[in-house]
A and B are shown apart, each in its own frame.
Chain A
């Protein structure tokens, strides 16, 4: 009552589900309250990020309603969709009851009437809610003995397939294209059991967010061509991570097996990406498994190349840098910190350089940009924006800036660095790359390399600086490292290591950790503790991955 009368003081409504009192969020639906309370309530059409349509009729519950004539609360004769009903203080609902169970059981039989039961060849098997709900609530055998109607399999876009025969017609995918991407590619055709999801002729499902329709599909109807027949999902391991594709920094999950990343999936985070991620990020990890990656360190002295042991490298580098500083002075040293580095790595490298050369210049690497920010639904502005793909195609510009600011001393942007380096301002430089695409102008790079006596280049792929470098180090992709990124809104997000780097290569952070003189095992957490002295925001950067308010 107070909640209704007093707008400011909101009490958490309490409702009774199966005789148990549950506290729930004001304005939540009964379904959300039950799911949050631990009930496994089956549902397909409900998705907390999309409009409620209440059409799958799976989440129906018994509810106490005011009698239309006497206004007395009593069990309503009908079942009520719990996704559509908002919680009210003191409300009483029943999920564990015969009519409810009977309905779910019948529904599961209905869903499978025309389903081909092709789980053995279906990519969704193992994470399919037709399987899960049938096992939990359905009956073992169908009573339909007649011929199944075969709805067609369709190629609806460059990246997605639609197997209509597996569809439960929850319409989540359609609502996604209407409400989130705003591109309206998907629609329904035909009626009754021959109802199909389809695209309009000549307009394939092809928008920057289209991969999400595969995620919202609770069954194996929408399939990712990229992942098609690649791996059974139960052999995948999932690691929480952050997308490194752009400055939005979507929370993601890296699904990998045997040191190979098989797919990226968005992870619920209301502060950043809700339930979604873009295709650019989703499929942008491929460079991680590129054959052309640099995997061995090289040290040159004169014309002689050698491949030292990783354990010896910190000593070699430290010696050569000190030698250079003594000869040329510490102000002739620079380090280029790439916006693809984690905050911890940047901080460790910065610390190492400044320890060896207190007057060294710290430089932020070039920020790759492309076009404008893309907002969704297409054309949305202000509060209507549900998703943004940033024009800044790197994950950690803000983080590097924070590290540089905390480090103080002389800092430069990359253009100014290139200008002074080609003019011979530096005799020693450590340049970190890590860009998935080419990022250096060849001529300038060669010119620059010629002027720098001790050039340490660390990158994922070969770059034009390497020809003139004294030390070439392989870098790791973000899925091979642990650390944190700061997105364009200033949110610090930590990510874990999903797969190990190429054979023998230590992850960047661990190498810097040893280089900076720390002992023991490198963890992001340990470095953040150190950093917190200068940048307090890093003290509690870790946030446990959120469980979304719905089951799937």
Chain B
């Protein structure tokens, strides 16, 4: 296998890569010119052929998503999900920081394919610099006639607006994002109707991730078959991977989805191996929500299908965080539980109460007052929430339970040992104080 040439990150590190001129000199805005000569239907078919699966986490094919839009619609909105709120994830940030025009080009292609008149980029509130970089790129595109009335001299017009969120995890959920964009509380909506039928301002809406859109110029320029030739069959195309934790080269790297977690950690051009003296204890390979792997499961492929075989929710954002042998697993458990306890939007009962309950239990275990039965309660609570058994409106509780469940299941012996090592009577004393 030949060495993989970066596609999405090819401009990263190039001086002034955010300038429109530099982007065009390096071959930018060619895809969109080609796309505007095609019909929207041809574009959708092309993207379907490329089997471009959404990079936001769920891996739903973008072309199929677009084809759900009703045929007789008059107004369509495109929302760009740049909320990137998954804990160890920063791929979209890299793309927006270093190559904003690639995203703008992708937006024009997607908007043209879906015949959207307006595109909103929903940025998470903490993205300050990225906002300015992106706004500058959008302004440049407007000034050059690439956005606004008659894009690239065609009949097609498109307006792009940036909207900054206030920093809530749940606003990365597509209907939560739509609500937030409408100026409301970011509560995911009940479905049906799905956004493709009734989304933003009650009009047909498509929500796509930054990385998904950034793939589009390349698919159009080089063709669907080029795209499918990269990586395994069901997980085609280049993908950004993040790696963090005690590794030598934490960062964001572009690779095919053929790599394994081990490669991501060990390879010299990727993670570069563990820091001296550190050994892998476990990995959260797909952002926090997908679940944990033990050191024995590092051969998992980072594609859309393999994670399920390891009891994980999916590929997620492909952002791995490694924790080493010295890390107390109780800390990991508590930290994850705390995040979801505070980020649950509070709409559905099971998620609102379940996540905070799990956090309380995890906190008590960390403080050395755990009970063995707490682990079973954690597992049961985890089973009693989530979208998959139909118990919630959005997928947040699924993402909240997978890490807890996999950690309790896969690291149970360690947790039990820690609980057994507590001073006798510690749990009872704590309960007495609490009640």
Contacts and interface: CB of A to CB of B under 8 A. Distances in A.
Contact of B342 (A52, A76, A107, A191): A191
B349 A111 contact: yes
A192 B393 contact: no
B384 interface: yes
A338 interface: no
B185 A192 contact: no
A160 B87 CA distance: 41
B349 A57 contact: yes
A192 B390 contact: no
A24 interface: no
A84 B353 contact: no
Interface in B378-393: 384, 387-393
Contacts of B435: 145, 147
A84 B392 CA distance: 13
Interface string B155-186: 00000000000001010000000000000010
A55 B434 contact: no
A146 B361 contact: yes
A77 B388 CA distance: 8
A541 interface: no
A256 B234 CA distance: 70
Interface residues of A, number: 40
B354 A110 contact: yes
Contacts of A58: 349
A114 B349 CA distance: 12
Interface string B355-390: 111001101100000000000010000001001111
A168 B360 contact: no
B434 A145 contact: yes
B200 to A, nearest CB: 18
A188 B384 contact: no
A149 interface: yes
Nearest to B341: A192
Contacts of B363: 146
A52 B190 CA distance: 9
Contact of B355 (A60, A144, A187, A193): A193
Contacts of B390: 60, 76-81
A76 B393 CA distance: 16
B103 to A, nearest CB: 29
A56 B431 CA distance: 30
Interface string A50-80: 0011111110100000000000000011111
B374 to A, nearest CB: 9
A84 B189 CA distance: 12
B70 interface: no
B348 interface: yes
A106 interface: yes
B343 A84 contact: no
A110 B391 CA distance: 13
B342 A78 contact: no
Contact of B353 (A60, A110, A187): A110
A195 B344 CA distance: 10
Contacts of A54: 190, 393
Contact of A193 (B353, B377, B391): B353
Contacts of A55: 190, 347-349, 393
Contact of B431 (A57, A76, A145, A192): A145
Interface string B6-26: 000000000000000000000
A143 B377 contact: yes
A169 interface: yes
Nearest to A146: B360
B345 interface: yes
Contacts of A107: 349-350
Nearest to B355: A192
A169 B185 CA distance: 15
Contact of B360 (A81, A147, A188, A195): A147
Nearest to A142: B357
Given A191-B343, A191-B346, A192-B346, A57 B392 contact: yes
Interface string A95-122: 0000100110011001101100000000
Given A54-B190, A78-B388, A79-B390, A169 B361 contact: no
Taking each of B343, B353, B384, B434, which has the highest tally of chain A beta carbons within 10 Å of its own beta carbon? B353
B352 interface: yes
A237 B388 CA distance: 46
Given A60-B391, A192-B346, A144 B357 contact: yes
A296 B321 CA distance: 86
A536 B426 CA distance: 81
A192 B344 contact: yes
A192 B344 CA distance: 5
Contact of A195 (B346, B357, B393, B434): B346
B356 A193 contact: yes
A314 B327 CA distance: 96
Contact of B346 (A57, A103, A188): A188
A149 B353 CA distance: 11
B389 A57 contact: no
B190 A84 contact: yes
A169 B356 CA distance: 15
B343 A192 contact: yes
A55 B384 CA distance: 15
Given A52-B190, A107-B349, A192 B342 contact: yes
B147 to A, nearest CB: 35
A113 B353 contact: yes
Contacts of A110: 349-350, 352-354, 357
Contact of A144 (B343, B360, B391, B393): B360
Nearest to A188: B185
A81 B387 CA distance: 12
Given A111-B349, A145-B434, A195-B352, A106 B342 contact: no
B393 A169 contact: no
Interface in B388-435: 388-393, 431, 434-435
A54 B191 CA distance: 10
B391 A103 contact: yes
B345 A57 contact: no
B361 A114 contact: no
A191 B393 contact: no
B53 to A, nearest CB: 18
A79 B348 CA distance: 14
Contacts of B355: 192-193
A219 to B, nearest CB: 13
Taking each of B349, B355, B384, B387, which has the highest tally of chain A beta carbons within 10 Å of its own beta carbon? B349
Contact of B357 (A76, A80, A113, A190): A113
Contacts of A194: 356
Contacts of A81: 190, 390
Nearest to B361: A146
Interface in A179-195: 187-188, 190-195
A195 B356 CA distance: 11
Nearest to A61: B390
B367 to A, nearest CB: 11
A-B pairs with the 4 shortest C-beta distances?
Answer: A78-B390, A195-B346, A193-B356, A110-B353
Given A107-B350, A110-B352, 19 more contacts: A53-B347, A55-B393, A56-B348, A56-B349, A76-B390, A78-B388, A79-B391, A103-B391, A110-B350, A110-B357, A111-B353, A113-B357, A169-B346, A190-B346, A192-B341, A192-B346, A192-B355, A193-B355, A193-B357
10 contacts: A57-B350, A81-B190, A106-B384, A107-B350, A114-B356, A146-B361, A147-B360, A188-B346, A192-B345, A192-B352
Interface of B: 168, 170, 185, 190, 341-350, 352-357, 360-361, 363-364, 377, 384, 387-393, 431, 434-435
Interface of A: 52-58, 60, 76-81, 84, 99, 102-103, 106-107, 110-111, 113-114, 143-147, 149, 168-169, 187-188, 190-195
